[in-house]
Structure 1
Amino acid sequence: MDLESDEEFFCELVINGIGGRTIAEAKANISYPELKIWRAYRAKRGSLFFGRRLEQSFGRYHADYVAMKTGKEVDVYKFMTHEDAPETSFEEERMKAIKKKSQ
């Protein structure tokens, strides 16, 4: 079963004890304005789930270690089994932001 982004978001809220103990409770207890705030927070700061943040940290560390030992560029997402690689790189996003500021 594939989760839609809305279902996945509510799963993450419930896992972290936000809104209730079930997805149905969270949907009933969280107002739309509060939901928008949580979505904005997650978009800015990343996952709410500590285990996922931990996996990201270890994945970055492991990729840096392998890159240092081999002298080759390493794809960090190979070490993060539950992460999807973004469609654009961080550098591309940064260059877009710089262009917007300069206009």
Structure 2
Amino acid sequence: MTFGCSISEAQARLSYPEFRQWQKYRAKRGSLNWGMRIERGAAMLATLYANSKSQKGGFKIYDFMPHDSEQPMTLEQAMESWA
């Protein structure tokens, strides 16, 4: 998905308060990427199934999400990965 502008253009257009609002939205609602949303739903079902079939349980949703991690990426890390 492309938004029609470069990272530097997006940085110039997006204010820090707006960035923080998007960050809060993503923390509450998850990724804006449809693929990640589908992966999360499938991972949730896999977690429920694995924990119901396992003697020990203890599986986390992130065990079934290869493209996500428990620790959110900081803005600096994101900018570094895009370079």
- The answer to whether the 8 A contact 1:16-1:49 is kept is no
Give 1:51 deviation, angstroms: 1.4
Q: Please give the alpha-carbon distance, in whole angstroms, between the structure 2 residues aligned to 1:36 and 1:85.
A: 19
Alignment of 1:61-76 (within 5 A): 61-68=45-52, 70-72=53-55, 73-75=57-59, 76=61
When you count helix as a share of all residues, which structure comes out higher? 1
TM-score (norm 2): 0.62
Alignment of 1:27-66 (within 5 A): 27-66=11-50
Match of 1:21 in 2: 5
Q: Give the root-mean-square deviation of aligned CA atoms.
A: 2.2
Give every structure 1 segment of 4 or more consecutive aligned residues whose post-TM-superposition deviation is greater than 3 Å: none
Q: Given residue 29 of structure 2, which amino acid in structure 1 is its aligned partner? A: R
1:34-77 per-residue CA deviation (whole Å, 9 max, x = no partner) reads 22221222222222222112111111111222333x24314132
The structure-2 alpha-carbon separation of the partners of 1:42 and 1:16, relative to structure 1 and needing over 3 Å to count, comes to farther
**Unpaired runs of at least 5, structure 1:** 1-14, 87-103
**Unpaired runs of at least 5, structure 2:** 72-83
% identity of equivalent residues: 38
Q: Given residue 63 of structure 2, which amino acid in structure 1 is its aligned partner? A: K
Q: Please give the alpha-carbon distance, in whole angstroms, between the structure 1 residues aligned to 2:24 and 2:70.
A: 20
Tell me which of the two structures has the higher relative contact order, counting C-alpha pairs closer than 8 angstroms and 6 or more residues apart: 2
